[in-house]
């Protein structure tokens, strides 16, 4: 959790906003000022690494080095305007670092816990850049349900990109031949976020 002897919560607070790469504005919450990335608390799971500001990996192209701190929020989401909101890309070739933004139909809105990053100036300890760490999500759904993945399988074959909320919830039960279809669909805006969303059809069986 340490950075130059100071804890990240001493250098950064929830609701604080900072510079954000416009290429990734599709990930921003509509509640926040346009074009700014605003941090969401609580802060947990803190890790840090040095990173060069060369314009890659969502850094500022300054030629300086920064301390990139990763922050996990551990917030239970709700489908509602008051809930923390972010987005991932469901396209395999758009939305990632060094890629063009995804089309609107390839953006999946997420609620709740998120992994944020903050780039800190190593001399002043000022937070000068930030954003969402996660651009896409892959889950182990490349092989039939409850079958052993061959040891020779590549990660490309074993993991498939998440395209809908229920892809995030495999619900493994070794007594079933198919994934558990007992998803709870959220219909009220203030209900806790569940494995399926109002836009995600309830699986049968």
13-42 mean pLDDT: 91
The whole model's pTM is what? 0.78
Average confidence score pLDDT of the chain: 81
Euclidean distance between the first and the last CA atom of the chain, given in angstroms as a whole number: 46
pLDDT band at 90 (very low <50, low <70, confident <90, very high): very high
């Amino acid at each position: 959790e340490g950075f130059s002897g100071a804890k990240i919560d001493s250098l950064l607070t929830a609701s604080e906003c900072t510079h954000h790469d416009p290429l990734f504005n599709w990930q921003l919450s509509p509640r926040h000022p346009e074009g700014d990335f605003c941090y969401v608390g609580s802060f947990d799971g803190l890790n840090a690494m040095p990173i060069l500001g060369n314009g890659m990996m969502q850094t500022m192209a300054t030629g300086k080095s920064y301390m990139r701190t990763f922050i996990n929020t551990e917030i239970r989401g709700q489908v509602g305007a008051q809930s923390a909101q972010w987005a991932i890309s469901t396209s395999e070739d758009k939305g990632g670092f060094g890629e063009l933004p995804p089309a609107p139909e390839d953006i999946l809105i997420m609620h709740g816990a998120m992994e944020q990053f903050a780039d800190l100036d190593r001399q002043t300890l000022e937070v000068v850049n930030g954003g969402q760490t996660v651009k896409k999500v892959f889950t182990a759904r490349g092989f039939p349900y409850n079958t052993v993945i061959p040891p020779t399988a590549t990660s490309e074959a074993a993991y498939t990109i998440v395209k809908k909320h229920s892809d995030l919830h495999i619900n493994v039960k070794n007594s079933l031949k198919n994934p558990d279809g007992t998803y709870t669909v959220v219909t009220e805006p203030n209900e806790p976020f569940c494995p399926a969303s109002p836009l995600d059809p309830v699986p049968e069986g």
